[in-house]
Homo-oligomer: A and B are copies of this chain.
């Protein structure tokens, strides 16, 4: 596709409809609910923490009454029976106050999700109807002070007492106190507590138990100690707390027993024999939380970029002497450079997120093979990491792009940056998540070997050997010329050729991913061959591991974007998305061009062409940037920002 020289005439409302997708009506309901409670954005600044927590709870309960927050639960308990819808509703909350969003996530996603996924019919009958309305509030007590990402190492114990047929829940030390638990400090009556299940002298690993922590009157239950985590960087409408259990007894039926059970006389049974596999299966059912947070990050990014773009189209500064008028910020190439690649990446992540939600809906609505579940979990982990890092980065860049005005709370960046900051480290620390992604990919390699897929194996080993040679010689560029069979190879006169071909872009991202993964596999193998333990060997190439996972997810994101566009009818909206897709792909390549250069996959001249093309694409986005942010349809009340209402 040749670069367009005339800006496409974007049809904003058609683009919004496309972005909103299958659940457009539900997303409009959430927008309406957000606007109705818009003054919570001011309350977040003005109320005391105690009052703001109450206010957020009120809004959550009011939203629950509209059906918006219960979409993922079975209809027989008052839910909507549609998992995809629950994600769409949650994502859309990302336009508004994020304490509300996180409170919804805690109550309906984490607490409700654990009851639904890990519990069985008696638990569903006992709790679901009330928790869907917000009558019964709960929390999800997994994380401990000393055990965050390493859930298998939790210290809390649940010891089965066959005398009374009860579990005894205990906190052995302060590093095993439950920490940062949303809803715990004030509102939750129940906790789903993750603890090491002990029967006799034997540990059966981590399981989940329903434990009452607070009476109807709000008083802590006997044996339960609750502490408030206090003020946080953001999300101060969510009451995070700490929990200690001092021999708290709960009945045998408190075990959420979908994946394992204990009989009255203390016999442990599970449909899944392998303890590790059981643990990861249980955790895997909770994947929806990650999917939701990633989507929220993408939507929070839309708010930030909409404000910064609109400001850049109003505010003038400097300019040609004698012209009598200063230049619009967005007429500076550098300003376009700051914002437009982020805008493009926001679109790309939106479509990657849409694809992920569809996969989740499919797997959880109709069941799936292990391999598909594993693929879903990997995609969810990776998309969450990239989506939330993107949010942090975008919000910060947009705040700086609005200068001093961006520093005023009224202009939204205050709450956006404070509230989203923890997204990168909660629901799975991003760096840990990318390691999970990489482990999954390496397992695929191992499968390839063990399945004796000769061609795949030979290809793998051969290319590894070639690369070793290539990296050892200065003939790299020469070899590259022969190997480079994709359109727009690095040699020849026209350094731009093929840069805008999605096949070329995809081939670059695929090559990087394959090459990085093969490199990690080699390093792991040679580390093991030298007698290192698997954990040490893995830890020694952690940055390489994380790089591979990043490369993998960026490739998935590009594929999702390219596929989406391929399915669109010809027209200006497709042209506009093509521009953004090119900008996403080429700026991803540009950002990692050191790696492509080091590995002989870009020549120096070609690397410079990539940079020049990114600049060129930015100038092409310039005439349609207002339409592209309007298409997000962030309600004006959620943008709030004073600065985008022009003065005098």
Chain B residues with CB under 8 Å of A149's CB are: 317-318
**Contact of A231 with B318 in the complex, beta carbons under 8 Å:** no
A232 CB–B CB distance under 8 Å: yes
Residue in contact with A421 in the complex, picked from B234, B399, B536, B647, CB distance below 8 Å: B399
Residue of B nearest to A605 (CB): B471
A: number of interface residues (CB 8 Å):
82
Contact status of A418 and B421, CB under 8 A, knowing A232-B409, A332-B539: no
**Contact of B410 with A148 in the complex, beta carbons under 8 Å:** no
**Contact of B535 with A318 in the complex, beta carbons under 8 Å:** yes
State the majority secondary structure of interface residues on A: helix
**Contact of B232 with A320 in the complex, beta carbons under 8 Å:** no
Residue in contact with A594 in the complex, picked from B153, B321, B607, CB distance below 8 Å: B607
Interface hits, A121-152 → B, CB 8 Å: 143, 145-150
> Residue-by-residue, is A288-301 near B (CB-CB < 8 Å gives 1, otherwise 0)?
00000000000000
Chain B residues with CB under 8 Å of A607's CB are: 594, 597-598
Interface hits, A404-433 → B, CB 8 Å: 404-410, 413-414, 417-418, 421-422, 424-426, 429, 431
**Contact of A403 with B418 in the complex, beta carbons under 8 Å:** no
Query: How distant is the Cα of A150 from the Cα of B329 in the complex, in angstroms?
Result: 12
Residue of B nearest to A319 (CB): B535
A450 CB–B CB distance under 8 Å: no
**Contact of A404 with B418 in the complex, beta carbons under 8 Å:** no
Chain B residues with CB under 8 Å of A476's CB are: 604
A400 CB–B CB distance under 8 Å: yes
**Contact of B410 with A422 in the complex, beta carbons under 8 Å:** no
A22 CB–B CB distance under 8 Å: no
Query: How distant is the Cα of A333 from the Cα of B326 in the complex, in angstroms?
Result: 49
**Contact of A425 with B408 in the complex, beta carbons under 8 Å:** no
Contact status of A647 and B174, CB under 8 A, knowing A334-B546, A594-B593, A598-B608: yes
Residue in contact with A230 in the complex, picked from B318, B410, B593, CB distance below 8 Å: B410
Interface hits, A274-318 → B, CB 8 Å: 315-318
Residue in contact with A604 in the complex, picked from B315, B417, B597, CB distance below 8 Å: B597
A573 CB–B CB distance under 8 Å: no
Query: How distant is the Cα of A158 from the Cα of B414 in the complex, in angstroms?
Result: 36
Taking the full assembly, how many copies of this chain does it contain?
2
Query: How distant is the Cα of A479 from the Cα of B179 in the complex, in angstroms?
Result: 60
**Contact of B145 with A647 in the complex, beta carbons under 8 Å:** yes
In the assembled complex, the CB of A279 is this many whole angstroms from the nearest CB of chain B, namely 14
**Contact of A233 with B404 in the complex, beta carbons under 8 Å:** no
A347 CB–B CB distance under 8 Å: no
Query: How distant is the Cα of A565 from the Cα of B329 in the complex, in angstroms?
Result: 43
A39 CB–B CB distance under 8 Å: no
In the assembled complex, the CB of A184 is this many whole angstroms from the nearest CB of chain B, namely 13
Chain B residues with CB under 8 Å of A405's CB are: 145
In the assembled complex, the CB of A181 is this many whole angstroms from the nearest CB of chain B, namely 10
A499 CB–B CB distance under 8 Å: no
Chain B residues with CB under 8 Å of A407's CB are: 180, 232-234, 421-422, 425
A229 CB–B CB distance under 8 Å: yes
In the assembled complex, the CB of A33 is this many whole angstroms from the nearest CB of chain B, namely 25
Query: How distant is the Cα of A476 from the Cα of B606 in the complex, in angstroms?
Result: 14
In the assembled complex, the CB of A48 is this many whole angstroms from the nearest CB of chain B, namely 9
Chain B residues with CB under 8 Å of A400's CB are: 424-425
**Contact of B604 with A229 in the complex, beta carbons under 8 Å:** no
A253 CB–B CB distance under 8 Å: no
**Contact of B598 with A334 in the complex, beta carbons under 8 Å:** no
Chain B residues with CB under 8 Å of A150's CB are: 317-318, 326
27 pairs of residues in contact across A and B, judged by CB atoms under 8 Å: A45-B231, A143-B404, A147-B317, A149-B317, A150-B317, A150-B318, A150-B326, A153-B326, A173-B648, A175-B647, A175-B648, A231-B409, A232-B407, A232-B409, A233-B407, A233-B414, A234-B407, A319-B535, A320-B533, A320-B535, A327-B539, A333-B543, A334-B546, A399-B421, A471-B604, A471-B605, A474-B477
Sorted nearest first, the 10 A-B pairs with minimum C-beta distance are A594-B594, A174-B648, A231-B409, A174-B647, A597-B597, A334-B542, A173-B648, A233-B414, A320-B535, A180-B404
Chain A residues in contact with chain B, CB under 8 A?
A: 45, 143, 145-150, 153, 173-175, 179-180, 229-234, 315-321, 326-327, 332-334, 337, 392, 396, 399-400, 403-410, 413-414, 417-418, 421-422, 424-426, 429, 431, 471-472, 474, 476-477, 533, 535-536, 539-540, 542-543, 546, 593-594, 597-600, 603-605, 607-608, 647-648
